A and B are shown apart, each in its own frame.
Chain A
Amino acid sequence: MAERSLVKAPRTPGVIAGRLFIYALLGIAALYFLLPFFVMVITSFKTMEDIRTGTLISWPREISLEAWKEAWSSACIGVNCQGIRGYFINSVKMVIPAVFISTAFGAVNGYVFSKWRFKGSEVIFSMLLIGCFIPFQVILLPMARTLGALGIAQSINGLIMVHVIYGLAFTTLFFRNFYVSIPDDLVRAARIDGAGFFRIFWRIILPVSAPIIVVTIIWQMTQIWNDFLFGVVFSGGDSQPVTVALNNLVNTSTGVKKYNVDMAAAIIAASPTLVVYILAGKYFLRGLTAGSVKG
């Protein structure tokens, strides 16, 4: 992305004032986006007493870690008072295999759709693409019955299966669009030399796939970690992912509302995707735009 190079304006007072105005607006926008997270963080370090007497943006009178401890290991979610630790681990157990499997299938599928096209493959690809867009409400009821019939209802394995299936369309799309930009001649030359389908994949395609693998893994990880709909419908009790547990914690109506515990739990639930975003924001953005601008 090149910086825009407009005609340089002379530095008159008017131009300088204009620049200051632009920076001021951008600064206000930055505050607006940061404020909710700032409020979450300071609230999580307050005591309930401090919350009752202070305001949203008042600094904690003393930094208390109580809310964090409680959110992690002793807050009551439903009847289970062991914090969100177990649910966090559920999410990890769900995300790792689901991301790995859907990415692996996506890579091979994308390779076929871009380099081994056959009659009808474009039609199949379009059919698959629809899968990126269907509102999942339309498959929930049959899936619930199917998971039951397979004996994996309310289990982490069931959730993994659901996430793999409905992630395939996206991962295939990502890899296919990336591989389209690799010159066909490279593959053709290898075929003339007698290399087969998988040999070309391993030797030629996979070694140049690192960027799209990173994009896909980040995309899938964010989607699956942050998912709530599948989690709330297809999991129960011990198998719930962290988003469902957080929602249950926040919506528990018994007893005094502990906002500091809610905030600590929310930050914990957000931390994996937030860390990935901060470390690899460039790839995150590429996934977002690849997932939206089709073709």
Chain B
Amino acid sequence: MGFAGRFQLYLPRIVLSPTVLAAVIFIYGFILWTAWISLTNSGLLPRYELAGFLQYVKLFQSDRWWVASRNLAIFGSLFIFFCVIFGLILAILLDQRIRIEGALRTIYLYPMALSFIVTGTAWRWMLNPGLGLERLVREMGLTTFTFDWLVNSRMSIYTIVIAGVWQSTGFVMALFLAGLRGIDDSIIRAAQVDGASLPKVYWRIIIPTMRPVFFSAIIILSHIAIKSFDLVMVLTRGGPGYSSDLPATFMYTFAFTRNRLGFGAASAMIMFMAVMAIIVPYLYSELRVKRNG
């Protein structure tokens, strides 16, 4: 084989090499770099002498970290629950030979085109206690109505849930709708001929066959939840106090505004491990299914 032939043979690898190099450095290398920082006593500037798991110990002793983690559990479970329930209901309703399905789908899904910062700005205005929804309901006659979650440290995390669900429900609806359209009609028709009512057909036959869609939706939503940052920053800035902090805002605060690099890096590593614990099995099962099928 001549030089030209060998060049042709290796060309695909050569073409791929910048991307592979970028992935090795900027994904894997940087993860190791962050892991290293998390094992040092770095403050304002990174130091590279290892200090063991000091930062992790501090992290787990930090009340603020537990508040952020608990908030993630609250936000994540409510966000996933409501997105899946509302998304499924909307998809089933839209699947009933609706005349204006296209227009409705467009309306349900448009929040996905918006930045979380825009969504947060809108909800911040509507939820503000002085002039927002609280005022609207009071003007309608309920003069003692209070809705101050945005400034109430016990309730602030729930405002993130409200805005997050509004933004992501349409997307889950689209996933379920695609799943519904993929189901073989003959099974449903047979059940109907046997006298099963429509709700029963959905409950007994259609929903169980959509288990993979539920699985995908829950994985994607938990991934969105763990990474949630923008919405908190614009709606509450993690406040009042740090009552609505999430791990992502926690990491940002300590690494970039308080200059505690080691501490911030340790929180980033915990986030990374949490995401990998969810994603790696998911990817593995997805790829395996594709190979067998």
Contact = CB atoms under 8 A, between A and B. Distances in A.
Interface of A: 1-7, 19, 22-23, 25-26, 29-30, 32-34, 36-37, 39-40, 43, 51-52, 55-57, 105, 108-109, 112-113, 116, 118, 121, 124, 126-131, 133-145, 165-166, 168-169, 172, 196-198, 222, 225-229, 232-233, 243, 246-247, 250-251, 259, 262-263, 265-267, 269-270, 273-274, 276-278, 281, 284-285, 288-289, 292-295
A247 B223 CA distance: 23
A109 B188 contact: no
Nearest to B173: A29
A281 B121 contact: no
B175 A263 contact: no
Contacts of B115: 225-228, 243, 246, 269-270, 273
A50 B88 CA distance: 40
Contacts of B90: 26, 29
A247 B268 contact: no
B6 interface: no
6 contacts: A129-B283, A139-B30, A228-B230, A229-B252, A243-B118, A295-B287
Interface in B87-109: 89-90, 93-98, 104, 106-109
Nearest to A40: B122
Among A145, A266, A274, the one with the most B-chain Cβ atoms within 10 Å of its Cβ is A266
Contacts of A109: 15-16, 19
B268 A36 contact: no
Interface stretch (B56-64, B125-133, B152-160): B125-133
Contact of A269 (B104, B117, B286): B117
B256 interface: yes
Contacts of B120: 250
Interface in B154-203: 166, 170-171, 174-175, 178, 180-181, 185, 188-189, 192-193, 198
A172 to B, nearest CB: 7
Contacts of B123: 36
B1 interface: no
A51 B275 CA distance: 43
A105 B27 contact: no
Contacts of B114: 226, 270, 273-274
A259 B125 contact: yes
A196 B6 CA distance: 12
Nearest to A115: B12
Contact of A112 (B15, B234, B261): B15
Given A232-B233, A292-B216, A138 B31 contact: yes
A62 B176 CA distance: 43
B268 A135 contact: yes
A229 B230 contact: yes
B248 interface: yes
Interface of B: 8, 11-13, 15-16, 18-20, 22-23, 26-31, 33-34, 37, 46, 86, 89-90, 93-98, 104, 106-126, 131-133, 135-136, 139, 166, 170-171, 174-175, 178, 180-181, 185, 188-189, 192-193, 198, 216, 220, 223, 226-227, 229-230, 233-234, 237, 247-248, 251-252, 255-256, 261, 264-265, 267-269, 271-272, 275-276, 279-280, 283, 286-287, 289-290
Nearest to B34: A138
Secondary structure class of chain B's binding surface, majority of residues: helix
B237 to A, nearest CB: 6
B229 A131 contact: no
A180 to B, nearest CB: 10
Nearest to B219: A292
B269 A138 contact: yes
A140 to B, nearest CB: 7
Given A6-B97, A165-B22, A288-B112, 12 more contacts: A23-B98, A26-B98, A33-B110, A55-B139, A56-B136, A130-B283, A134-B31, A137-B272, A229-B252, A259-B125, A273-B115, A294-B286
A40 B16 CA distance: 46
Given A133-B275, A139-B30, A143-B26, A295 B113 contact: no
A57 B230 contact: no
A49 B230 CA distance: 30
Nearest to A168: B19
Contacts of B261: 141
A273 B192 CA distance: 43
Contacts of B124: 250
Given A29-B108, A112-B12, A6 B189 contact: yes
A173 B265 CA distance: 29
A37 B16 CA distance: 44
Given A36-B122, A259-B125, A136 B94 contact: no
Given A138-B31, A141-B264, A143-B30, A30 B108 contact: yes
B282 to A, nearest CB: 8
Contacts of B107: 30, 33-34
Nearest to B113: A277
B97 A3 contact: yes
